[in-house]
């Protein structure tokens, strides 16, 4: 007689898992079918995003410039202090040798004064503060001890100052490195966006940039504005000689420039030293709030955080180093949010 075994049933748990997985697969499949493919950015959208990244990169560039300038300043200050400490130590050694000579002379003439003997093996502060000890010393010895005490205090103060500046230098170097990474990161993001364009779109953007840069070699109507001063005229003429040079972050010429690198270089050619960064340049000279009061050679500042600067060229034009991918050129001030000017 044939055996009729009852088929083995799947456990409820296994059935539940399989059913849930199948339902999930159906939902995912439906969502995938209904989801619109990610839209490719148009050339104009890419350009807008790239321009924004370039602006943010310039903000980071000015912070980088500031940290770099601070680092150089600290290094000079530390070097000066260390030189002073070295010379001060030599002076202190001479003072001690001089006191030792006094002690030797005193010994030969009848023995070393106990207070001097104590000093030679201890700290002068221990007995200079005691009037009874001072009474036992000769005027010459008192003067020598006071000089040694003053020199010791001076050296201690200078060493403490050097230590603080070294700590500040370490912090500044870390900030400099971070600012550099910020600039490079934003420029890399901009390049990725540009790389997403087709060859034709890249050619179109390049042509637009060339048209914008071409104004640097064509005659620009600068009107009849007069220079703010002889030095302003000289600075402006120097900047004009750099038209066509590329923008490179952190550059101060003469192969390339960033915005404040161009303005500081131009004024240096006129014999005027101005700060390195746009934010610092905004704090010098006479502030000019109205664009109608500007004269050729005045510094002009843009954006709320003052991260961009150029030279007023007359007739509403600015001569500046715009951003990565562009060259030193003229541009209408109306293209950027003007804040104020400064007459150096």
Catalytic position from the list 4, 307, 320, 323: 320
Are 176 and 71 in contact by the 8 Å Cβ rule? The answer is yes
323 assigned to active site? no
Residue from 245, 340, 234 nearest 297 by CA = 234
| Cα angle: 36, vertex 40, 46; to 5 degrees | 145
Residue from 338, 317, 299 nearest 216 by CA = 317
Distance (Å, rounded) from C-alpha 66 to C-alpha 60? 10
DSSP 151: H
Residue from 141, 194, 137 nearest 325 by CA = 194
259 assigned to active site? yes
4 assigned to active site? no
Contacts for 166 with CB less than 8 Å, ≥ 6 apart: 78
> Is residue 156 exposed (0-12), middle (13-18) or buried (19+ Cβ within 10 Å)?
exposed
Distance (Å, rounded) from C-alpha 48 to C-alpha 14? 54
Strand pairing partners for 287? 342
Distance (Å, rounded) from C-alpha 140 to C-alpha 113? 13
Are 99 and 119 in contact by the 8 Å Cβ rule? The answer is yes
Residues annotated catalytic, as ranges: 259, 308, 320
């Amino acid at each position: 007689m044939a055996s009729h075994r009852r088929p083995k049933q799947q456990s409820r748990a296994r059935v539940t898992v399989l059913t849930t997985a199948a339902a999930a697969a159906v939902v995912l499949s439906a969502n995938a079918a209904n989801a619109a493919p990610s839209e490719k950015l148009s050339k104009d959208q890419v350009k807008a995003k790239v321009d924004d990244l370039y602006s943010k990169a310039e903000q980071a560039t000015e912070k980088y410039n500031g940290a770099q300038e601070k680092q150089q300043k600290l290094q000079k200050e530390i070097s000066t202090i260390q030189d002073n400490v070295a010379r001060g130590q030599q002076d202190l050694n001479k003072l001690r040798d001089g006191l030792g000579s006094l002690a030797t002379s005193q010994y030969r003439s009848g023995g070393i004064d106990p207070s001097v003997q104590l000093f030679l093996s201890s700290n002068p502060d221990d007995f200079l503060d005691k009037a009874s000890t001072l009474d036992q010393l000769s005027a010459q010895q008192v003067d020598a001890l006071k000089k040694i005490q003053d020199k010791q205090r001076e050296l201690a103060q200078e060493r403490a100052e050097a230590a603080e500046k070294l700590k500040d230098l370490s912090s500044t170097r870390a900030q400099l490195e971070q600012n550099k990474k910020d600039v490079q990161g934003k420029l890399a993001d901009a390049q990725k966006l540009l790389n997403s364009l087709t060859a034709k779109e890249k050619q179109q953007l390049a042509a637009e940039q060339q048209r914008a840069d071409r104004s640097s070699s064509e005659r620009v109507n600068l009107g009849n504005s007069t220079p703010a001063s002889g030095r302003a005229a000289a600075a402006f003429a120097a900047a004009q000689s750099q038209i066509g040079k590329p923008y490179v972050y952190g550059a101060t010429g003469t192969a390339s420039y960033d915005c404040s690198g161009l303005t500081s270089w131009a004024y240096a050619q006129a014999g005027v030293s101005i700060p390195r960064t746009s934010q610092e340049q905004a704090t010098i000279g006479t502030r000019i709030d109205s664009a109608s009061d500007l004269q050729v050679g005045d510094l002009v500042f843009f954006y709320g955080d003052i991260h961009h600067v150029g030279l007023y060229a007359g007739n509403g034009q600015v001569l500046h180093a715009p951003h990565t991918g562009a060259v030193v050129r003229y541009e209408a001030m109306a293209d950027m949010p003007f804040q104020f000017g400064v007459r150096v």
